[in-house]
Structures are given as structure tokens and as C-alpha cells.
Amino acid sequence: LDQTAGGEIQPGGIELPLKPMLGCIGVAPARKEAISTSTPGAWGGNMDYASMGAGARLMLPVNEPGALLFLGDGHARMGEGEPVGTGLETSMDVEFTVDLVKKKAIGWPRMETSTHILVLGSARPLLEAFQHATTELQKWLQADYGFTERGAQTFMGQASEYEIANVVDPNFTVVAKIPKALLPRR
């Protein structure tokens, strides 16, 4: 890791630029469950999504008074899906802002980047994670973008994109996303 040069030097001299991200951001699960922070779920957790970096806006459901926000698992860089079980792990200083949005219930973590809206669904098997992400994205389109149920389904059938965020944690994480350029103005 060469912070001065802003990259990582791999064997053979291959240089990869740094792409800092947090693998773990979450709140307390519902129903007072005691779940390891390494397990992602509807509360967030160790989702290991490589685009969870600077400028991203993450929305999490609040299940308990005070939310009990936690974050960690810094990576200087990590491949999508965390295919070998780890990224370039590092400590990091993080600056963030927390806003409480009252009377807005969401079922799964939602995120906005400069280019996409997206939902992170986590479960095993992978198909169940895919279903959670897809269903929550449909709900978001209906609630905030004026789509009917059928309209959201049709739109998603043509415009949705998917990524696998992790396949190494106790639950797998799938990302369902829509390019902002395709969305109607709010």
C-alpha cells in the first residue's frame, strides 16, 4: 500500500489505484436480536459493497431507539463480491453525517451514488438476497418516483442492473440498482 502514490503495488509491478470503502455499516437488528456484525441483513451490517465509499448516501431502517449505528471493516480497495474473502484491509478515519428521516419506513438498506439508486439485499441462498433487493427497489420506485406496481415491474425489467456485493459472509449480498439518468424527476 503506497499512500503517497495513491495506490497499491501488486506482484509483478501492477499498480491499482486506491478506492477506499467501508465493508460494514449497520444498525441494531429488529426484535432485539443479537447478531454478529459480520452478518449482513435488513439492518445493514457487513455488506461488503465495494461502492460504499466517499459520496455514497446510505439509508438504513431504524429498529431500536437510538438506532445503535456501527461501522468499520475499512478497505483501501476490494474487488466486487469480495471473491477471495478479503480486500486490501486497512484502518481509516471516516467522516460522515447522520440524518434521521421520520415516518419513512424501509425494509432493506437503500443507497444513492452520483449515478444510481440501489438496494442491498442479504440472505442465503443468493436467490433470496436477489429477491429482497428487487422487492425493496420496486417499493422505492413506487413510493418516491410515482410508479404503479405494474409500472415499476415493467420499468425494472428494462432498466435494472445487478451486482453481487459479497459471497463470503454468513449471508450473501446482492445489489439491485437503477441509473439515475433513467428515472423520472422527483
- pLDDT tens by residue, 95-125: 999 999 998 999 999 999 999 999 999 999 9
CATH fold for domain 7-182: Endonuclease I-creI (3.10.28)
The reported pLDDT for the residue numbered 55 is 94
The reported pLDDT for the residue numbered 163 is 97
Rounded to whole angstroms, how far apart are CA atoms 165 and 108? 15
The reported pLDDT for the residue numbered 7 is 75
Judged on CB neighbours under 10 Å (0-12, 13-18, 19+), 14 is exposed
The reported pLDDT for the residue numbered 27 is 96
Q: Average model confidence (pLDDT) for the chain?
A: 93
Longest dimension (CA), the chain: 54
The reported pLDDT for the residue numbered 112 is 98
The list of the chain residues with pLDDT below 50 reads none
Domain-wise residue ranges, the chain: 7-182
The reported pLDDT for the residue numbered 3 is 64
The reported pLDDT for the residue numbered 1 is 64
